[in-house]
Amino acid sequence: MAKWTPKHEAPEPLEGPVVATITGGTLVWFVLFLVQLPFYGWFEDHGHLWWLWTCLAGGGLGLIGVWYVRRRDAAIKRAADLEAASAE
């Protein structure tokens, strides 16, 4: 059996509003947690309490993601500024 090899170059990654996307997703996780919180008893009775904690974990991990992508964007901008300054 022959090993698979790519036939073309991989495309460049798309850069978009990463911070806004991660922040929006984090807010959605926290809103889902808050919406489900009044139904804590129902979730516990039916064995679905993990739904609640999954939303909280998603919001917490989203906060780490926001911190990460903000630092990444700042590093990319610093590198671009240094490159522009060295080109002059």
The whole-number pLDDT of residue 8 equals 85
For the segment 44-59, the average pLDDT, to the nearest whole number, is: 96
Give the mean pLDDT of 65-83. Answer: 94
Q: What is the reported pTM?
A: 0.77
Give the domain ranges of the chain: 18-87
CA distance 38 to 56: 14
pLDDT of residue 11: 84
Instruction: Write down the pLDDT at residue 2.
Output: 67
Taking each helix axis as running N to C, give the angle between helix 49-87 and helix 18-36, from 0 to 180 degrees, rounded to the nearest 10: 160
CA 78 to chain centre: 22
